[in-house]
């Protein structure tokens, strides 16, 4: 049970956060947004951290699920309980497709990056172009579409907390099973993993599909929570870049890294908010500084610090250096 | 019909001008430069600032192009150093993230310091007749500049020793090093040159319509698409792909609208990567 102590502590802290926020809607919304980014970063950790697939279309995957769920709910008058799973399936299918095609064609990290970046732009232009369904730049109002739970701030917070915990549970189950071993092997050396009989293609597609499903679920629910869905909600700079920074901050290939990274990122965002437009500049500086000097992330550093504090060596799993490849 | 074709070629030359720098930096430095459009915008902004000081348009343009080159030089000698320590895929990934970060820094700084800033040149004669078709003088001037720049580049690469050594590094970096060529100095030169060509594209954008500080990401993406379709290592391919995509874009914009045209361009690039990763025209160049 010691293995899950960190998650239990995290759950406890997050469960009492709304009470600590003292009913301030502003801070509650910030906390909910942080939960959304945590779940997205957990997904990206699976896709990029563990299986080295550089998806630069996180916004498009989350947005596909969001738009599919909302547009179907409006056009066909379906309940979100039906449309959200359809949206999630669409995102998971797309993620799996990109992964499969990239393995099939032997695309390296960069070419997969370009293909997914192109998809991200196609998504953006499709949303703008299909005005009769998506209402273009203005977006669609999602309030009153049948998700009253998500329209109440505190309830919304707990829905996203549940999503995050579910994502962490899926992550834990994947990593604790045979697939976790495969992820570790193929992130060290793909060829060797393939030669030792690991189905590299299958596990890469699995990681991409599960990750995209988490991205999609969070994105679709966020579309309903947010009250409005527009291209700017799912923009490249608004989703992909923060998630990439949060993952690097927290530490790739660690269980708690995405969570801590997203919290750290949310704090940084809040600090630069008074300066308005400067956030893009800060993103740039963060990307460069993190990638050149802090590639391990917070979690390994904290694990080592706590081990030194206790005067023992950190457990091997926690201090496994997140060597980046 | 012919007017659209001409328009496409004019646009295409601009696209090639942007893309050739990406091709050169990728071929020589092994880095996919995601801040390339920002070089163009930085050059354009520098030119506009010089114009405000009362310097003649031609000198201001040259100054802007030179500033883009200096920016390229600085980036190569400072920011890219961590990436150059690695080789292959590791260098590509690090270079991609570093240039992406740098592009955000440039965008953020420009939007902060010069919001709603734009560069526009006005030519004395707005329209001219070419083969019976009225053409904007600005388009002709921009195309002429692009053609001259390309001619200069080709002459440099084919005829001078330095150009030949550059081509040898694109072919095989280790081999070139064994022949006594210093890849790092040549790389700095090429990044500087590529940034200057982006600067030319930025300044000529001011001739067409106007160059805004927010256009960096769009330039980068368009350049990237052309470079990918042309095959990221072939300069001839990049030139051809730029003109091809320019024509495709002009016809698509005319018949089906801008959004669909952009989607067609993107799908084109995606399909090229999946079907012919070495570039659409790889066989012919």
pLDDT in tens, B237-269: 899 999 999 999 999 999 988 889 999 999 988
Average pLDDT on A273-300 reads 85
Distance CA B104, CA B198 (A): 17
**Under an 8 A CB cutoff, do A118 and B225 touch?**
yes
Collapse the DSSP code of A212 into the 3-class scheme (helix H, G, I; strand E, B; otherwise coil) and give the result.
helix
Is A113 in contact with A102 (CB distance < 8 Å)?
A: no
Please name the residue of chain A whose CA is at the shortest distance from the CA of residue B276.
A105
Express each pLDDT in B216-244 by its tens digit: 999 999 999 999 888 877 888 899 999 99
- B101 and A286 in contact by Cβ < 8 A? yes
Residue of A nearest to B227 (CA): A114
CA dihedral A92, A96, A99, A102 (to 10 degrees): -130
What's the pLDDT at A295? 78
Q: Does the beta-carbon distance from B263 to A101 stay under 8 Å?
A: no
CA B249/CA B254 separation, integer angstroms: 8
CA torsion, points A150, A75, A231, B264, in degrees to nearest 10?
Answer: 150
In this complex, do B98 and A288 lie within 8 Å of one another by their Cβ atoms? yes
Please indicate whether, in this complex, the C-beta atoms of B108 and A280 are within 8 angstroms of each other: yes
What's B136's DSSP letter?
Answer: E
pLDDT at A320: 45
Question: What string of DSSP letters covers B210-269?
Answer: -EEGGGHHHHHHHHHHHHHHH-TT-HHHHHHHHHHHHHHHHHHHHHH-HHHHHHHHHHHH
Does A277 contact B107 at a Cβ distance shorter than 8 Å?
A: no
pLDDT band at B281 (very low <50, low <70, confident <90, very high): low
Return d(Cα B102, Cα A131) in angstroms, integer. Answer: 34
Which among A240, A207, A214 is positioned nearest to A100, based on CA atoms? A207
Average pLDDT score over chain A: 89
Condensed to tens digits (0 to 9), the pLDDT of residues A113-160 reads 999 999 999 999 999 999 999 998 899 998 888 788 888 888 999 999
Q: How far is CA A97 from the centre of its chain?
A: 18
Report how far residue B2's alpha carbon sits from residue A160's, in angstroms, rounded to the nearest whole number.
56
Summarize the confidence of residues A202-221 as an average pLDDT: 96
The SS3 of residue A140 is strand
List of chain B residues whose C-beta atoms are within 8 Å of the C-beta of residue A101: 274
pLDDT tens per residue across span A224-278: 999 999 999 999 999 999 999 999 999 888 999 999 999 999 998 888 888 777 8
- What does the pLDDT average to over B91-99? 90
Chain B residues lying within 8 Å of A126, measured CB to CB: 259, 263
The closest CB to that of B267, out of A113, A122, A282, belongs to: A122
CB contact under 8 A, A280 and B263: no
Range scoring the smallest mean pLDDT among A92-96, A126-130, B52-56, B172-176: B172-176
pLDDT in tens, B118-153: 787 777 667 777 767 777 788 888 889 999 999 999
Mean pLDDT of B161-179: 83
Cβ–Cβ below 8 Å for A288 and B225: no
Look at A291 and B277 and tell me if their CB atoms are within 8 Å. no
How far is residue B106's CA from residue B40's CA, in Å, rounded to a whole number? 11
Q: Which residue has the higher pLDDT, A255 or B209?
A: A255
Contact A281 B105 (CB under 8 A): yes
Nearest to B96 among A110, A122, A128 (CB): A110
Closest by Cβ to B101, choosing from A115, A279, A284: A284
Q: How far is A68 from chain B (nearest CA, A)?
A: 19
Using a CB–CB cut-off of 8 Å, the residues of A that contact B are 54, 101, 105, 107-111, 113-115, 117-119, 121-122, 125-126, 128-129, 241, 244, 277-288, 291-292, 325
Q: What pLDDT is attached to residue A105?
A: 87
The pLDDT of residue B177: 82
pLDDT digits (tens, 9 = 90+) for B8-52: 999 999 999 999 999 999 888 888 999 999 999 999 999 999 988
Return the percentage of chain B with pLDDT > 90, whole number. Answer: 44
Q: Span A31-44, mean pLDDT? A: 95
Element (H, E) at A310: helix A298-310
Using a CB-CB cut-off of 8 Å, the residues of chain B touching A122 are 263, 266-267, 270
**What rounded mean pLDDT belongs to chain B?**
87
In this structure, the number of other CB atoms found within 10 A of the CB of residue B275 comes to 9
Q: What is the pLDDT of residues A169-187, one digit of tens each?
A: 999 999 999 999 999 998 8
Percent of chain B exceeding pLDDT 70 equals 96
Q: What is the C-alpha separation between A9 and A308, in angstroms, rounded?
A: 21
What pLDDT, on a 0 to 100 scale, did the predictor assign at position A301? 85
What is the mean pLDDT of the segment spanning A4-29?
Answer: 84
């Amino acid at each position: 049970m010691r293995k899950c102590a960190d998650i239990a502590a995290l759950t406890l802290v997050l469960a009492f956060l709304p009470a600590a926020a003292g009913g301030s809607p502003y801070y509650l919304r910030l906390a909910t947004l942080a939960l959304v980014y945590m779940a997205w970063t957990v997904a990206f950790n699976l896709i990029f951290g563990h299986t080295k697939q550089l998806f630069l279309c996180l916004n498009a995957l989350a947005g596909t699920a969001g738009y599919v769920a909302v547009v179907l709910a409006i056009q066909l008058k379906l309940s979100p309980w039906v449309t959200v799973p359809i949206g999630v399936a669409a995102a998971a299918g797309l993620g799996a497709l990109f992964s499969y095609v990239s393995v099939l064609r032997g695309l390296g990290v960069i070419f997969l990056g370009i293909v997914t970046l192109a998809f991200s732009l196609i998504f953006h232009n499709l949303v703008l172009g299909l005005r009769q369904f998506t209402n273009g730049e203005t977006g669609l109002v999602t309030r009153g579409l049948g998700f009253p739970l998500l329209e109440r701030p505190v309830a919304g917070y707990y829905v996203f907390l549940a999503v995050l915990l579910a994502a962490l549970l899926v992550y834990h189950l994947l990593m604790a099973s045979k697939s976790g071993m495969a992820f570790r092997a193929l992130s060290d050396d793909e060829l060797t993993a393939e030669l030792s009989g690991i189905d590299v293609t299958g596990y890469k597609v699995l990681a991409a599909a599960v990750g995209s499903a988490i991205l999609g679920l969070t994105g679709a629910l966020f579309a309903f929570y947010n009250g409005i869905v527009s291209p700017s909600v799912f923009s490249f700079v608004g989703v992909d870049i923060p998630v990439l920074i949060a993952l690097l901050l927290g530490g790739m290939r660690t269980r708690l890294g995405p969570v801590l990274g997203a919290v750290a990122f949310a704090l940084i965002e809040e600090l630069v908010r008074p300066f308005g437009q400067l956030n893009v500049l800060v993103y740039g500086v963060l990307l460069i500084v993190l990638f050149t000097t802090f590639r391990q992330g917070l979690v390994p550093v904290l694990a080592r610090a706590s081990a030194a504090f206790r005067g023992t060596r950190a457990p091997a799993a926690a201090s496994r250096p997140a060597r980046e490849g | 019909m012919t007017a659209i074709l001409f328009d496409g070629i004019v646009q295409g030359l601009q696209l090639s001008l942007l893309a050739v720098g990406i091709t050169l930096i990728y071929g020589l430095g092994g880095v996919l430069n995601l801040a390339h459009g920002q070089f163009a915008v930085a050059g354009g902004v520098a030119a506009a600032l010089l114009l405000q000081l009362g310097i003649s348009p031609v000198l201001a343009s040259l100054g802007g192009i030179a500033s883009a080159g200096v920016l390229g030089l600085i980036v190569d000698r400072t920011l890219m150093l961590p990436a150059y320590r690695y080789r292959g895929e590791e260098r590509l990934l690090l270079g991609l993230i570093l240039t992406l970060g740098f592009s955000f820094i440039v965008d953020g700084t420009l939007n902060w310091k010069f919001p709603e800033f734009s560069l526009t040149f006005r030519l004395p004669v707005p329209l001219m007749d070419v083969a019976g078709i009225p053409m904007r003088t600005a388009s002709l001037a921009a195309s002429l500049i692009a053609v001259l720049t390309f001619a200069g580049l080709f002459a440099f690469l084919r005829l001078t020793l330095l150009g030949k050594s550059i081509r040898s590094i694109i072919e095989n970096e280790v081999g070139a090093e064994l022949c006594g060529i210093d890849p790092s100095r040549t790389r700095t030169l090429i990044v500087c040159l590529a940034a200057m060509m982006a600067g030319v594209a930025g300044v000529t954008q001011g001739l067409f319509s106007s160059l805004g500080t927010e256009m960096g990401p769009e330039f980068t993406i368009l350049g990237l698409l052309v470079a990918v379709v042309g095959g990221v290592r072939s300069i001839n391919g990049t030139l051809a792909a730029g003109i091809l995509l320019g024509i495709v874009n002009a016809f698509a914009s005319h018949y089906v609208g801008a959004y669909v045209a952009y989607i067609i361009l993107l799908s084109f690039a995606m399909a090229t990567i999946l079907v012919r990763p070495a570039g659409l025209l790889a066989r012919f160049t």
